[in-house]
């Protein structure tokens, strides 16, 4: 399988930006249960505004994540551009009959999320210089954490379906999962994990434009959606290098959570899969 993903900087440090971009690009492969093998750098660089040292640090950050993932960097391409962007094209390997798709969730399945939400809102706060250092540190830790261990475990526990939670937010990716399978997904609002400081930053209005776009597009799919309920905003927050949203049979979900605790993998039950109702999503 082949995938590509490119992002703009979310943090000031170029090495850290490279790490985040690489983890984000490799995530698409993990989300399908595949093993990433090779990657190519894709760089859009304003040479007239930034030094070559910045580019070297970005690429070094990306390479550090690829080494952690066991991925071989085989080349790349650089374009001079007005805005800095970096990502990778990644090749992964999986047998066609072993692919874990985002369209095969089954009624009765339990939904598990493997990273908390908040990177879009926190990145907006970073750009506005309003994010506390501890909040930034936690967000960077999550964004540079590979989904490899969670992907290995979901294969081991016979996941029904999976997707990574990225630019469309939790609501958007859950909606795609539900519509693809012809089911309704119920998300438990109180169970959905947030990164530290997220609620306060959202209350201060530090919401990325993508959050509003996601809300405008996906809210019609949500049963009884209340636009005045600000507690729902993090569910629309566009994530970078987000976690996996995994559907498993109840017994497999119990095993997943137990093994995740043993292996120190973050795993939180966030909802269930129901037979199709009037809407493909419910938030309880």
pLDDT tens sequence across 242-281: 999 999 999 999 999 999 999 999 999 999 999 999 999 9
Final residue of a domain: which of 73, 97, 121? 97
Range of the domain at 84: 2-97
The answer to whether 80 and 47 have CB atoms below 8 angstroms apart is yes
Do residues 109 and 248 make contact, with C-beta atoms less than 8 angstroms apart?
A: yes
> What confidence tens digit (pLDDT) does each residue in 272-284 have?
999 999 999 999 9
Verify that 153 and 276 share a domain, yes or no: yes
CATH number of the domain at 106, please.
3.90.650.10
Edge-to-edge strands of the sheet including 2-7?
2-7, 85-93, 35-45, 72-80
Residues 194 and 227 reside in one and the same domain: yes
Evaluated on CA atoms 209, 195, 163, 111, the torsion sign reads: negative
CB 120 within 8 A of CB 210: yes
Do the bridges between strand 268-275 and strand 161-164 make them parallel or antiparallel, or are there none, so unpaired? Answer: unpaired
Question: 264 and 153, same structural domain?
Answer: yes
Q: Are strands 183-187 and 281-283 parallel, antiparallel or unpaired?
A: parallel
168 & 69 share domain: no
What total of structural domains would you count in the chain? Answer: 2
- Nearest Cα neighbor of 115 from 236, 258, 231, 244 is 244
**161/111 Cα distance (integer angstroms):** 9
Write down how long the chain is: 284
> How much is the pLDDT for 226?
86
Do both 17 and 145 map to the same domain? Answer: no
Choice among 164-178, 181-195, 199-213 with the minimum mean pLDDT: 199-213
Instruction: Verify that 221 and 133 share a domain, yes or no.
Output: yes
Same domain? 32 vs 93: yes
Residue 36, exposed/middle/buried by CB under 10 A (0-12, 13-18, 19+)? Answer: buried
Q: What pLDDT was estimated at residue 229?
A: 86
The pLDDT > 90 percentage for the chain reads 94
pTM: 0.95
pLDDT in tens, 182-202: 999 999 999 999 999 998 999
Taking Cα atoms as reference points, which of 156, 169, 164 lies closest to residue 246? 164
SS3 of 86-122: the string is: EEEEEEEECCHHHCCCCCCCCCCCEEEECCCECHHHH
Q: Which of 33, 62, 97 is the last residue of a domain?
A: 97
Residue in the structure block whose two tokens are 């995994």: 246
Mean pLDDT of 96-107: 96
């Amino acid at each position: 399988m082949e995938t590509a993903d490119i992002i703009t900087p979310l943090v000031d440090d170029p090495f850290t930006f490279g790490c985040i971009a690489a983890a984000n690009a490799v995530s698409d492969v993990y989300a399908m249960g595949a093993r990433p093998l090779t990657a190519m750098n894709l760089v859009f660089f304003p040479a007239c505004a930034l030094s070559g040292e910045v580019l070297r640090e970005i690429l070094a950050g990306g390479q550090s994540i690829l080494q952690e993932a066991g991925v071989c960097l085989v080349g790349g391409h650089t374009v001079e551009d007005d805005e800095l962007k970096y990502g990778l094209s990644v090749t992964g390997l999986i047998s066609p009959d072993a692919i874990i798709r985002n369209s095969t969730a089954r009624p009765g399945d339990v939904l598990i999320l493997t990273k908390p939400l908040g990177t879009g809102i926190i990145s907006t706060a970073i750009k506005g210089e309003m994010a506390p250092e501890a909040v930034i540190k936690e967000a960077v830790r999550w964004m540079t954490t590979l989904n490899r261990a969670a992907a290995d475990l979901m294969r081991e526990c016979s996941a029904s379906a999976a997707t990574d939670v990225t630019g469309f937010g939790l609501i958007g990716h859950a909606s795609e999962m539900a519509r693809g399978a012809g089911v309704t997904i119920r998300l438990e609002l109180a169970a959905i994990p947030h990164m530290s400081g997220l609620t306060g930053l959202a209350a201060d209005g530090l919401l990325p434009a993508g959050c509003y776009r996601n809300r405008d597009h996906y809210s019609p799919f949500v049963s009884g959606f209340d636009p005045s309920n600000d507690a729902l905003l993090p569910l629309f927050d566009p994530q970078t290098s987000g976690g996996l949203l995994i559907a498993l049979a109840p017994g497999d979900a119990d095993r997943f959570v137990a093994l995740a605790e043993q292996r120190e993998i973050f795993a939180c039950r966030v909802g269930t899969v129901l037979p199709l109702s009037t809407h493909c999503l419910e938030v309880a």
